[in-house]
Amino acid sequence: MCGAHCSLTDGDSALGGAWFPLEVAGQTFAQIGHLMPTAWAMDGFQNIILRGLGDASALLPAGILLGVGLAFLAVAVWRFRFE
């Protein structure tokens, strides 16, 4: 029942740094990983929890996640068939 959905979710999680920190994977992998929303969420979490940088350090990752969400909302509204 899982099929392609699980593969996409697992791939996004792995590339985004949810399985292991992107810092240990190398600079190129980290840059590719930041194409995934998961990497930005993990950056925000790590800034607050691990690095102790405070709430303000999560504003950029939260803003990027908001932008990604709005972009997908725009595509969904555009593609939705109002009948």
Q: Which helix (H) or strand (E) holds 75?
A: helix 59-79
Per-residue pLDDT of the chain (83 residues; tens, 9 = 90+): 677 888 888 888 888 888 988 889 889 999 999 999 999 999 999 999 999 999 999 999 999 999 999 999 999 999 998 87
Q: Are 53 and 47 in contact (CB under 8 A)?
A: yes
Q: What secondary structure letter does DSSP report for 23?
A: G
Q: How far apart are CA 23 and CA 83, in angstroms?
A: 48
Q: Which helix (H) or strand (E) holds 39?
A: helix 37-49
Q: How far apart are CA 19 and CA 12, in angstroms?
A: 10
Q: Where are the domains of the chain?
A: 3-79
Q: What secondary structure letter does DSSP report for 57?
A: G
